[in-house]
Each structure stands twice: as C-alpha cells, then as structure tokens.
Amino acid sequence: MFSSQKWKTVDKGMARLPGAFKPIVGDDLKYYRKIQKVDYLPHGNKVQISWKNHYTDCEFQKAAYDHTFIAVPFTVVRKWKLPEFSPTLGHAISLLMYQSACKVALEFKSRFWEHLDRPIFGSCNTKTDIPGLGDICYPGFNLNSTGPAVVLGSYNKDDYGERWVSTPEDEHAQYVLEGLVQLHGEVAREEYTGRLKRLCWIGEESNAGGSWAFPSVGQHELYILAYFSTENNIIFIGEHTSYTHSWTSALESAVRGSVQLLLEFGLVDEAKEITRKWMGKWITV
Ligand SMILES: Cc1cc2nc3c(=O)[nH]c(=O)nc-3n(C[C@H](O)[C@H](O)[C@H](O)COP(=O)(O)OP(=O)(O)OC[C@H]3O[C@@H](n4cnc5c(N)ncnc54)[C@H](O)[C@@H]3O)c2cc1C
C-alpha cells in the first residue's frame, strides 16, 4: 500500500466494498446492528442475536437464525452475553491477546520529501531512534504531483500504539512534526498546513481496543482447533480465527467457515467445491 508499486484502492473509500453487496443480497443484509447478546435456543435449535437501537433502550431487538457466523473481533465479543461454550473456546474469546496501533497523519503544502538531496518516492520504511515515532510512511501514489499531500508521520504498533492515547491529539501531532523537522530540516515546519488526523485503534469501538489478534505464547496452538468446531450453531470467523493474521487471513477464515457450515449439513461435495474454488488451489507457483 505504501510502497512505490502501482497504487490501487477502492475509489471513494473502502466502505463501498461492503456497500456493494446490498443490491445483490437485498433486504437480507442489515447494517448498523450493534450486537450485544447471543443466545442458543435449544427448543427451536436456533441462534438468537440481540441488539438495541439506542443504548438507552431497555428492551433488546431480537432475531433468530438456524446458524450464525460471528465475524467480530474477540475484544468485542467478550463483552457480549453469550451461551456456554467449551472451555477452550470460552477461554479464547475471553483471553486471546490483541495488539493496538496508532497513526498520526500530517498534511503538507507540497511533496518536499520528493525533492530532497536524497528524494523519497513512497515507502513505509523510514525509522528513527526518536522515541514513540515508529514508522514514517510517504505516499506511494501521485508521485511527482503538485499540491498538498499527506505523510503518515507516525505509525506505532507496539506499546506506543496504546500509550499515545493519553496525550492530546494536537500535542501528539506537534511531537510528530518535530520528529519530521529533526529528520528533514525546517522545510517540514514551513510546509506543514496544520491539518492533522490521529487514529488510535484502542479508541475504536468496533475493535474495542485491538487492531489485530496477537496471541501470546501457546495461545494459537491451544485455541486454533476450537475455532473449527461448531458450538451452539455458531461458527466464529475473522482474522483472529485463522492460522495467520492479516486481511487475507480474514478471507481465508470465511472460506473455512463456509466449508464448516456445509459439512454440518453433510454437503461434502459442495464443501470440496468451495475449497477448490476459493482456497487458490488452482494457483501454480
Ligand atoms: C492499523 C492497522 C493496520 C493494518 N495493516 C494491515 C496490513 O498492512 N496488511 C494486512 O493484511 N492487514 C492489516 N491489518 C489487519 C486487517 O485490517 C485485519 O486483519 C482485518 O481487517 C480483519 O478482518 P476481520 O473481518 O476479521 O475483522 P474487521 O475488519 O475488524 O471486521 C469486524 C467487523 O465487526 C463489526 N463489529 C464490531 N462490533 C460489532 C457489534 N457489536 N455488532 C456487529 N458488528 C460489529 C465491525 O464494524 C467490523 O465491520 C491492519 C489493521 C490495523 C488496525
């Protein structure tokens, strides 16, 4: 994404990707339901999910389904009221470790970094020994263009991913600017437009403080098998339930979950077809 390779993205924002499913799936697709509770209903052999339209509501809204995929990070799920799971799966939901990330983006009047003695044309590889600055990323698209551009002046994934939250956003951004001045000289201060944006995932409700799963020693080996068993008609998917972690792992887990559901119904051939088509087995290396 930040390399100088060809820049590709979803025009007008990633939110258009899930939005594109709406015309195909129609009214079966419901957005903005903040699930807070999941029950297994043994009489009907169904899963009931519950949410509130507003957090001050006393009553839950409810819907029941034969099976449910839960693709929400465990940092969020562990706050829900849940049915009883096997001890291993229950532990995974409650205890799986996550890592937090924090980014600060600063806008500059021009791409001065592309005109230095040693120019930088897009990368995320610049590191310094300035404490808490982390990686610095320069845009890898619209190279050599004129007009304002944004630098990811600080990208922290370690302890600083959480620690910076206690510093006010403007003060944090100023610290990042001073770091860039130290690195590139006063040109950075002169070119800064004053426009900034900080995003620390620990403050993001939909992640509940985690950016991605980061199992502690032994957790992966202990928990991974539990994700492959369907309990209470619920199948957990998402990057945290995959062998590896990152967005491709989220996709992989969706394929695994689909196969798992088909096998629940004894649809072996259909499960094999999903694996053949979507697990990239047709790719030759
Ligand atoms: C800063 C950062 C940088 C990253 N960089 C990379 C990278 O360079 N390469 C890479 O491969 N991966 C990267 N990742 C990881 C990647 O984003 C994740 O692996 C991927 O998004 C996980 O997909 P997912 O579908 O499992 O979970 P998510 O994308 O987190 O989706 C979970 C969904 O659950 C929804 N949700 C949350 N709470 C509720 C609720 N109560 N009710 C209903 N829905 C709810 C959320 O709205 C969200 O849509 C990065 C992540 C972060 C935070």
Q: Is 266 helix (H, G, I), strand (E, B) or coil?
A: coil
Residues having CB closer than 6 A to ligand 1 are: 34-35, 71-73, 76, 101, 201, 206-207, 211-212, 238-239, 245-248, 250
pTM, full prediction:
0.90
Q: Which pLDDT tens digit goes with each residue over 3-62?
A: 545 667 788 888 888 888 889 988 888 888 999 999 999 999 999 999 999 999 999 999
Ligand 1: nearest atom to the Cα of 248: 11
pLDDT along the chain (285 residues), means of 10: 62 85 86 94 97 96 97 95 98 95 97 95 91 95 93 93 94 98 97 97 82 93 96 97 87 94 96 88 62
Q: Name residues whose C-beta falls within 8 Å of residue 36's C-beta, 6 or more positions apart in sequence.
A: 50, 51, 52, 60, 79, 80, 81
Residue 7 has a pLDDT of 64
Answer CATH for 32-97+215-278 from 3.10.20.30, 3.50.50.60, 3.40.50.720, 3.40.50.80 = 3.50.50.60
Determine the distance separating the centroid of ligand 1 and the alpha carbon of 213, expressed in angstroms. 10
* Cα dist from 171 to 41, 73, 175, 201, whole Å: 51, 31, 6, 18
Q: 4 near 140, Cβ under 8 Å? A: yes
Residue 18 has a pLDDT of 80
Answer CATH for 99-203 from 3.30.70.270, 1.10.150.20, 3.40.50.2020, 3.90.660.10 = 3.90.660.10
What distance in Å separates the CA atoms of residue 24 and residue 26, rounded to the nearest whole number? Answer: 6
Every domain of the chain and the residues it spans = 32-97+215-278, 99-203
